Amino acid sequence: MNPKDGDPVQRVRELTGGGVDVGFEIIGLVDTVRKMIGCVKKGGKAVMVGMCFDNVPISPVNDVMTPEIKLMSPQDHLKAEIPQVLKLIENGRFDLSHSVSHRLPLKEVNEGVRILNERIGNPVRVVLEP
């Protein structure tokens, strides 16, 4: 669903019968963090994976305590978790096809940083390749 066509939180809640058990935010934008939290059902988990450097307005009472959601942000990933994540991707549980917006050769690292800093071409994630 294109969020310009309606409220994605409302649509996710309709499609899932009240919200998702676990929501993942992998982009790192204030708006997507807020929307992901809104998609999590009562008692679920909201996982912030994307690097969001801006302040995200979250009401502890309204956004976390009342819906009894667990707000999580992994600091690191264990090597043992990689096969589990790959299996989820392989089984179609995670669609990461739109998570990379730019691919650049390693020697253009400075251009990659510029793209992110200046938000050129609506960057999601810049991948540097050897």
CATH number for position 29: 3.40.50.720
Chain segment 2-44, per-residue pLDDT in tens: 667 789 999 999 999 999 999 999 888 999 999 999 999 999 9
In the numeric block, which tokens belong to residue 119? 């938000």
Q: Into how many domains does the chain fold?
A: 1
> Could you tell me if residue 117 is inside a domain?
no
The whole-chain average pLDDT of the chain stands at: 89
> Could you tell me if residue 17 is inside a domain?
yes
Q: Which one, of 115, 13, 94, 91, lies nearest residue 47 by Cα?
A: 94
Domain that holds residue 72: 3-76
Q: In this structure, is the dihedral angle defined by the CA atoms of residues 85, 90, 91 and 93, taken in order, positive or negative?
A: positive
